[in-house]
Structure 1
Amino acid sequence: MTGLSVLVPCLNEGIQVEVAYRELTGELAAIEGLEILFVDDGSTDDSLARIRALAEADPRVSYLSFTRNFGIEAVMGAGFRYARRPWIVQCDADLQVPPSQIWRLLDKAVEGYDVVFGRRVRRRDPLIRKIGSAGLHWAARVVFRIEMPEGASTFRLIRTPVARTISELRLPWFMPAVSLVGARHTAVDVTHRERDSGRSKLRLGRLAGHSFELFFGFSWRPLNALYLMAVLGMAAAVLGLEAAHLLVSAGTLGGMAVVGRYVRRLAPPPPLFYVRESNLPIRPEDSLTGGDPCPPPPGRGEPTAPSEGTGAIAR
């Protein structure tokens, strides 16, 4: 099997669905076995209708549509699971990284890498977004000692079997998981441009929660800090330092929240996503109905067969 699957996450993209399709198929027309895989993350606009129309007109287009908004990690997991080509490139529908840059990833992968990240040069995002992203990566590497590919972004090329291996681990972040499993990875500089329309679908609350998943999912340092706090608390109690008692009490409340985060990791994870509609064969466990057919409900005019052992009542 040869070719490339282009994974395009979609959430209320509207007309940008057709824009992404035209640019991607135009730039990658020379690739034999090209697949454009749209994953609709529970859009409430006409994105699914637009994707469905493209799939009906072009056999290169595949799609999955979730029952609700499950988030980017679910989109990636579904895309990695159902991609039909040996390589996957993840490309946002807004195309802030032009499709022409996909060739830079492909050219580098020839050198034997499993994952090639796009490192955005002169990133064209709001300043707060750039500062937040840089701070997150710095904290992960320096404070929490998590191995993160420097400069990596969600614009990336992945060998499909490697992507599936990482996805099946159900880890909260893809980037550190690449190093965790020992996949050969690198990064290349790619062009980044202004968003043509709309705004990012990622919100501050979700980004903050995503950051906590990174810190607590890949580092034991927060838990080690609690051990140190416990030792200091015992020392303060021996010395009778009242101010230290107050500090330790406050820290205890925060510590309980941290421990709760780690305990939560022991619980069986919920399903990553459910698919409502697709033009691909879907595993029963990924379908909301378990793969069973869903005929329409009976109407008023439909005859009802008598139950076994019953008959007409004699008068």
Structure 2
Amino acid sequence: MGDNELLDTLQQREQFREHYWHKKDPILQERLLWRAQTFRQLIHLLPGQSILELGCGSGVFTRELHRVSKSENPITAVTFQEQVPEEPEKSLIEFLSLSSFPGPLQNKTFDHIIIMDLVDETNSSWFLENVYALLKPGGQVTFYESNPKNPFLKGRNFLNRFSNKTDRRKLLSRSELSRSVREAGFVNVVAVYNDFVYAPLTPKGVWWLRNLSTLLENLSPIDSFAGAILLHAQKAPQETIEPNQSLCQHKELAGAVSVVVPCHNEEMNITSLVTGLLTFYGDYLHEIILVDDNSKDNTRCVIEQLAEKYPLIKPVFRKPPNGVGRAIRDGYRVATGKYILSMDCDFQHLLPELRDIFNAAVRGVDVAIGSRFSRRSVLLNYPFQKIIANRGFHFLARLILGKKFRDLTNNLKLIRKEVVDNLQLTQTDFAINAETGLMPLLMGYRVREVPISWVNRTPDMGVSSFKLFKVGGGYWRVLYQLWVKKMFNNNSYYPAIRLKGVKKVQLP
């Protein structure tokens, strides 16, 4: 097949997608917002990094991506149609129309590439080889491709046979797409089924489907019925690239943040976490409190070495008994910053997204929590039983406590010091995350959930110590205790607030 025929396939695929988006997708703007936010969180986008969008069509996703990236990233948006979208004024967007590929992009490279519904069985090898050449070493590519196993798509194609509206696309399955991407030279390939919000759609149906998506996307074999395949891959770096830019933007946070990190057998993760914190948020940091919870590996040795190298490191070495709740409480006890950022060792990949949490703090929020189950988050390879347990707990918590929230039990929280001082923490294990999320809400503090995306631990990051059945009872004890305090107006819940003269505030 010649280059002209291969390019024709790209044009046809782009036209087909544009027609579907504008004629048949009633929630297009919301869907593109989800995808833009997912892309930003999945690649951990940094200011100034360049983005190439292939097959931009009318530019609706381009503009959404420009907004979600806070207008901090140059975007080159390519259409294979003759008509070029109008470029917004004072933006970093450049629209191009290509009559050949890569054409004028030849010898250019980008930090990230986003592609939607362009990879076809007839052009995959040629197309992916060119995409690979357009990435910088270490660059990342994200694909959203239609899932050929989607039952609605199958049903529509069957009915179209009787009306001469044949879908000429030759879609690749998830395994075929993954194999093609690997054969093109990409590494760290992750392909998951994504998005169960598809026709027939109604306003109420969208709400239910969006909430069910998180469950169904992580439930095999039901996940294979999703509407799309989300694939993320990387071009192998020539050398290890360390972050080198500060993300500090708020003078009011200068030297104000104590970071509390419970560590149990985390020798592989601590150094990269500390390096990232110092690089991205060094101006904000008051101290980094590394709490070694009786590790069996070389965690203590690594912490001691870091403490010698960086004056901001404040080590805490616990004695038995173990417990992440005990470790967090010990870390809180010695923290002296205006704000306390609580996080796990394996959160180093989420560091660019902490900007959103700090932004919430400077807007007057008392507690900012990273929410994994926001409608603008994505969960990749997340254990289904943990999703069920999390959603079940939050459903009952909302019902019992009479409050609205989605995910308050993640140990990624930025809390004002005075709020921490007023908490009455009792749990010794992971259930402390429920206390630190729910207690401030019931006490009347301003709590804000900030969307984050979550990729489950990979082999090089160690093994999580979270045991669902072992720690589950603690969560229910927390819920019961808070319900008793709420129902019987137990004034002992607020003594610290009364004594310190801290006034209760209402949530916005």
Change (3 A) 1:69 1:100: farther
In the alignment, what sits opposite 2:378? Answer: 122
Q: Which residue of 42, 62, 74 corresponds with 2:294?
A: 42
State the Cα distance separating 1:11 from its structure 2 match: 0.7
Q: Which residue of 418, 423, 441 corresponds with 1:179?
A: 441
In the alignment, what sits opposite 1:105? Answer: 357
Query: Gaps (5+ residues) in structure 2?
Result: 1-253, 428-434, 489-508
State the Cα distance separating 1:141 from its structure 2 match: 2.0
Change (3 A) 1:58 1:2: closer
Q: Secondary structure at the match of 1:214?
A: helix
User: What amino acid maps onto 1:192 in structure 2?
Assistant: W
Q: Which residue of 215, 226, 234 corresponds with 2:479?
A: 215
Does 2:390 align with 1:133? yes
Does 2:414 align with 1:162? no
Verify the 8 A CA contact 1:137 1:148 in the aligned structure 2.
no
| In structure 1, distance between residues paired with 2:286 and 2:401 | 39
User: What amino acid maps onto 1:160 in structure 2?
Assistant: K
Verify the 8 A CA contact 2:307 2:315 in the aligned structure 1.
yes
Give deviations 1:236-278, integer Å, cap 9, x for gaps.
xxxxxxxxxxxxxxxxxxxxxxxxxxxxxxxxxxxxxxxxxxx
State the Cα distance separating 1:119 from its structure 2 match: 1.2
In the alignment, what sits opposite 2:407? Answer: 151
In the alignment, what sits opposite 1:291? Answer: none
User: What amino acid maps onto 1:105 in structure 2?
Assistant: I
Q: Which residue of 183, 195, 198 corresponds with 2:457?
A: 195
Quote the sequence identity (%): 25
Give deviations 1:110-163, integer Å, cap 9, x for gaps.
111110111121123222212211111112222x33647422222111111211
Which stretches of structure 1, 4 residues or more, deviate above 6 A after TM superposition?
none
In the alignment, what sits opposite 1:75? Answer: 327
| In structure 1, distance between residues paired with 2:321 and 2:279 | 30
| In structure 2, distance between residues paired with 1:214 and 1:161 | 21
Please identify, of 77-86 and 171-180, the stretch whose mean Cα deviation from structure 2 is larger. 171-180
Please identify, of 86-95 and 119-128, the stretch whose mean Cα deviation from structure 2 is larger. 119-128
User: What amino acid maps onto 1:122 in structure 2?
Assistant: V
State the Cα distance separating 1:177 from its structure 2 match: 0.7
Q: Secondary structure at the match of 2:449?
A: strand
State the Cα distance separating 1:20 from its structure 2 match: 1.5
Change (3 A) 1:111 1:154: same
Q: What TM-score comes out, normalization by structure 2 length?
A: 0.40
Verify the 8 A CA contact 1:36 1:60 in the aligned structure 2.
yes
| In structure 2, distance between residues paired with 1:148 and 1:52 | 43
Give deviations 1:62-109, integer Å, cap 9, x for gaps.
111110243222222122221121111111101166111111111111
Q: Secondary structure at the match of 2:451?
A: strand
State the Cα distance separating 1:199 from its structure 2 match: 2.2
Structure-to-structure mapping, 1:1-315, within 5 angstroms: 2-29=255-282, 31-95=283-347, 98-120=350-372, 121-124=377-380, 125-142=382-399, 144-145=400-401, 147=403, 149-152=405-408, 153-166=410-423, 169-172=424-427, 173-196=435-458, 197-220=461-484
Change (3 A) 1:104 1:32: closer
Q: What TM-score comes out, normalization by structure 1 length?
A: 0.64
User: What amino acid maps onto 2:456 in structure 1?
Assistant: E
Question: Which structure has the higher relative contact order (CA within 8 Å, separation 6+)?
Answer: 1
Verify the 8 A CA contact 1:114 1:159 in the aligned structure 2.
yes
Give deviations 1:37-85, integer Å, cap 9, x for gaps.
1111221221111111110111011111110243222222122221121
State the Cα distance separating 1:16 from its structure 2 match: 1.4
Query: Gaps (5+ residues) in structure 1?
Result: 225-315
| In structure 2, distance between residues paired with 1:199 and 1:93 | 12
RMSD: 2.5
| In structure 1, distance between residues paired with 2:297 and 2:402 | 38
Q: Secondary structure at the match of 2:357?
A: helix
| In structure 1, distance between residues paired with 2:316 and 2:443 | 27
Verify the 8 A CA contact 2:270 2:345 in the aligned structure 1.
yes
Q: Secondary structure at the match of 2:369?
A: strand
Q: How many residues align?
A: 220
Verify the 8 A CA contact 1:12 1:45 in the aligned structure 2.
yes
| In structure 1, distance between residues paired with 2:401 and 2:325 | 22
Change (3 A) 1:24 1:178: same
Verify the 8 A CA contact 1:10 1:47 in the aligned structure 2.
yes
| In structure 2, distance between residues paired with 1:148 and 1:72 | 27
User: What amino acid maps onto 2:407 in structure 1?
Assistant: G
Please identify, of 39-48 and 197-206, the stretch whose mean Cα deviation from structure 2 is larger. 197-206
User: What amino acid maps onto 2:425 in structure 1?
Assistant: R
User: What amino acid maps onto 1:104 in structure 2?
Assistant: D
Q: Secondary structure at the match of 1:199?
A: coil
